[in-house]
């Protein structure tokens, strides 16, 4: 089977690593995979190492910046060329199946339908903060896919509720990976100067501002804490990076906050942490939470969407109300002051991730979904011919 796998980025965050895991699962199963990404970047080499060929094609990616009237009009005017370009790639690759890795390039689903090819869309987003009508418009193209794979029950529920006739074609496949690279050393207790670590994109939905405010509150309570923020912005979010730097100055914690920027390997930062915090306002799954737990570090997440499917019990991690920096500080303080609790959370969290989110299970389920989609389309085609 020849799979054209489309991905909207070129860097290497949690969801991007899952894209590599998906491609490797398909190639390991004997399938030929051609990856299409919009620009060159660190991710390209990882796809190649996973056994895929890679094509750089500057097809658009849906970003919030494109929702402005002028940008949206440009996107619409460009659509015939976008569809033509994507169909040309499908023909050149002699594709049997199209695997769209997110909902941010819906034209691949239309191109697959026009080319009479089966398609899968892997839904990793739940854009609940935008108006309902915008949610419905964003999810409408998913009805063109043969199968919608959601990364959590929360994501699937969102797709079914806001999408169009998606119930029968939606399944959940939890993210899975080889967690061994994240375990660099056993947890040995919270240090005298507690170190909090945040890893993720610098945008409001990931909540690094909540982390900074929580740090400030810990300091005000006499805790000599520090925070490392690992991550960079998407183009167009420069304003938010400036806000974060202004915030550390306003709260007088500049000397306690390290902006480490994008890091291809976050494991060393997780190892140096005493507490991994994931303060997302929206998070369909939250791979970084699982990574923090796999690193055997106490992990604290906001009680939102897919994060509570990872930290599904207070014995393996802690949760706090989304956006509530004081509650986050309270939870961190509890862990800092109770070393027995901190050690128990670290060890139980790691065991939970290894048991529930294995790479073997993910690979088996994702390959099975792809093969069933192709077989199902062939079966329908034979029935249509017979009729």
Strands 318-320 and 32-37: unpaired
What's the pLDDT at 381? 47
Q: How far apart are CA 252 and CA 229, in angstroms?
A: 16
Q: How far apart are CA 246 and CA 113, in angstroms?
A: 48
Other CB atoms within a 10 A radius of the CB of residue 167 amount to: 11
Q: Backbone phi, then psi, for 331, in 5-degree steps?
A: -65, -45
In the chain the first and final C-alpha atoms are separated, in Å, by 26
The DSSP annotation for 329-345 comes to: HHHHHHHHH-HHHHHHH
Structure tokens at 61: 């990616």
Regarding the domain with residue range 181-356, which homologous superfamily does it belong to in the CATH classification?
Glycogen Phosphorylase B; (3.40.50.2000)
SS3 annotation, 39-50: CCCHHHHHHHHC
What's the pLDDT at 130? 75
The structure tokens 């009479």 sit at 116
The structure tokens 């890795």 sit at 101
What's the pLDDT at 307? 93
Residue 289: its H or E element: helix 287-294
Structure tokens at 129: 């903060």
Q: Which residues contact 11 (CB under 8 A, 6 or more apart)?
A: 41, 42, 43, 232, 262
Q: How far apart are CA 367 and CA 332, in angstroms?
A: 40
What's the pLDDT at 340? 96
What's the pLDDT at 72? 67
What's the pLDDT at 267? 95
SS3 annotation, 227-277: EEEECCCCCCCHHHHHHHHHHHHHCCCHHHEEEEECCCCCHHHHHCCCEEE
Distances (CA, A) of 173 to 7, 151, 285: 18, 5, 11
Taking phi over 0 as left and psi of -120 to 50 as alpha, with beta for the rest, 278 belongs to beta
DSSP 8-state symbol, 280: -
CA-closest candidate to residue 336, choices 213, 182, 215, 183: 215
What's the pLDDT at 65? 54
Regarding the domain with residue range 2-177+358-386, which homologous superfamily does it belong to in the CATH classification?
Glycogen Phosphorylase B; (3.40.50.2000)
What's the pLDDT at 10? 72
What's the pLDDT at 154? 87
The residues of the chain that CATH labels 3.40.50.2000 are 2-177+358-386, 181-356
Per-residue pLDDT of the chain (387 residues; tens, 9 = 90+): 999 999 987 766 656 888 999 999 999 999 999 999 988 888 999 999 999 999 999 888 876 555 566 666 777 788 899 999 999 999 999 999 999 998 889 999 999 999 999 999 999 877 777 788 888 988 999 999 999 999 889 899 999 999 999 999 999 999 888 899 999 999 999 999 999 999 999 999 999 999 999 999 999 999 999 999 999 987 788 999 999 999 999 999 999 999 999 998 999 999 999 999 999 998 888 889 999 999 999 999 999 888 999 999 999 999 999 999 999 999 999 999 999 999 999 999 999 999 999 999 999 999 999 999 988 765 554 444 344
Q: Say if residues 284 and 303 touch (Cβ distance below 8 Å).
A: no
CA-closest candidate to residue 350, choices 306, 279, 298: 298
What pTM does this model have? 0.75
Which strand ranges, in their side-by-side order, compose the sheet holding 195-199?
257-261, 226-230, 195-199, 275-278, 299-302, 318-320
């Amino acid at each position: 089977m020849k799979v054209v796998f489309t991905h909207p980025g070129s860097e290497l965050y949690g969801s991007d690593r899952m894209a590599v895991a998906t491609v490797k699962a398909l190639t390991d199963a004997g399938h030929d995979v051609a990856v299409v990404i919009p620009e060159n970047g660190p991710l390209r080499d990882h796809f190649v190492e996973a056994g895929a060929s890679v094509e750089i094609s500057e097809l658009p990616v849906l970003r919030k910046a494109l929702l402005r009237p002028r940008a949206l009009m440009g996107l619409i005017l460009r659509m015939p060329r976008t569809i033509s370009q994507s169909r040309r790639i499908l023909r050149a690759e002699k594709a049997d199946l199209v695997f769209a890795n997110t909902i941010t390039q819906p034209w691949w689903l239309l191109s697959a339908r026009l080319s009479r090819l089966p398609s899968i869309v892997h839904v990793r987003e739940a854009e609940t903060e935008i108006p309902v009508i915008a949610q419905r418009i964003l999810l409408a193209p998913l009805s063109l896919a043969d199968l919608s794979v959601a990364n959590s029950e929360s994501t699937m529920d969102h797709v079914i509720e806001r999408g169009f006739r998606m119930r029968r074609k939606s399944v959940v496949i939890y993210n899975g990976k080889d967690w061994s690279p994240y375990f660099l050393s056993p947890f040995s207790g919270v240090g005298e100067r507690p170190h909090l670590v945040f890893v993720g994109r610098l945008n409001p939905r990931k909540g690094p501002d909540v982390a900074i405010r929580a740090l400030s509150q810990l300091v005000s309570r006499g805790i000599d804490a520090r925070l490392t923020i690992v991550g960079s912005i998407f183009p167009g979010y420069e304003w938010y990076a400036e806000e974060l730097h202004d915030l550390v100055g306003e709260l007088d914690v500049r000397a306690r906050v390290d902006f480490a920027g994008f890091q291809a390997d976050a494991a060393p930062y997780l190892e140096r942490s005493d507490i991994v915090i994931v303060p997302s306002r929206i998070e369909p799954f939250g791979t970084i939470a699982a990574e923090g737990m796999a690193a055997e570090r106490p992990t604290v997440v906001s009680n939102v969407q897919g994060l509570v499917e990872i930290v599904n019990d207070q014995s393996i991690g802690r949760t706090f109300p989304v956006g509530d920096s004081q509650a986050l500080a309270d939870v961190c303080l509890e862990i800092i002051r109770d070393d027995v609790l901190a050690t128990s959370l670290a060890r139980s969290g790691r065991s939970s991730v290894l048991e529930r989110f294995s790479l073997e299970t993910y690979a088996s389920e994702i390959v099975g979904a792809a093969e069933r989609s192709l077989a199902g389309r062939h079966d329908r085609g034979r029935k249509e011919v017979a009729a």
